[in-house]
């Protein structure tokens, strides 16, 4: 059994978000990676693909998901399953939108827990390069 307490040493910050490793091979997990994502309103990740299915569980704020040609929003308490290989972009919503059951203040930082199988690689659209996510290692 491994118990992981969030600490600055487990954070990876990019221009778009801060990811905090909670479970990964480097933390003793053999099959799953789990991390917390925090994004400020309006921040968005790049258009990319991941070769593993991901499940995003929004814990605060509102996230907008564009997967393929579909766009939808998820608020605190909702989960989004993104299929492996799907072209996607995730954005922290701005404004006063409300999510399911009136939850989710889109004007605040958005946070989600993300889970996926270990060993994933990611390709940013147009790069032609597959990379591994340091927060999932």
Residue 105 has pLDDT above 70, yes or no: no
pLDDT in tens, 53-97: 999 999 999 999 999 999 999 999 999 999 999 999 999 998 644
Residue 104 has pLDDT above 60, yes or no: no
Q: Give pTM, 2 decimals.
A: 0.88
Distance, in Å, from the CA atom of 62 to the CA atom of 74, rounded to the nearest integer, reads 6
Length of the chain: 137
Burial tier of 30 (Cβ tally within 10 Å: 0-12, 13-18, 19+): exposed
Cβ atoms 58, 114 nearer than 8 A: no
What percent of the chain lies above the pLDDT cut of 70? 91
For residues 30-52, give the mean pLDDT.
96
Q: Specify which residues 36 forms β-bridges with.
A: 20, 113
Question: Left if phi > 0, otherwise alpha if psi is -120 to 50, otherwise beta: which for 30?
Answer: alpha
DSSP string, 64-132: EEEETTEEEEEETT-EEEE-TT--EEEEE--SS---GGG---TTS-EEEEEEEESS--EEETTT--EE-
């Amino acid at each position: 059994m491994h118990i992981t307490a969030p600490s600055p040493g487990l954070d990876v910050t990019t221009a778009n978000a801060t990811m905090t490793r909670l479970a990964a091979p480097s933390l003793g997990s053999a099959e799953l990676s789990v991390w917390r994502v925090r994004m400020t309103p309006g921040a968005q990740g790049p258009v990319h693909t991941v070769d593993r299915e991901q499940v995003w569980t929004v814990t605060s704020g509102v996230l907008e998901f564009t997967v393929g040609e579909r766009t939808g929003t998820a608020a605190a308490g909702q989960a989004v399953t993104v299929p492996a290989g799907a072209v996607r972009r995730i954005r922290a919503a701005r404004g006063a939108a409300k999510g399911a059951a009136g939850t989710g203040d889109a004007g605040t930082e958005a946070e989600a827990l993300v889970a996926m199988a270990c060993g994933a690689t990611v390709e940013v659209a147009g790069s032609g390069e597959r990379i591994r996510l340091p927060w999932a290692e």
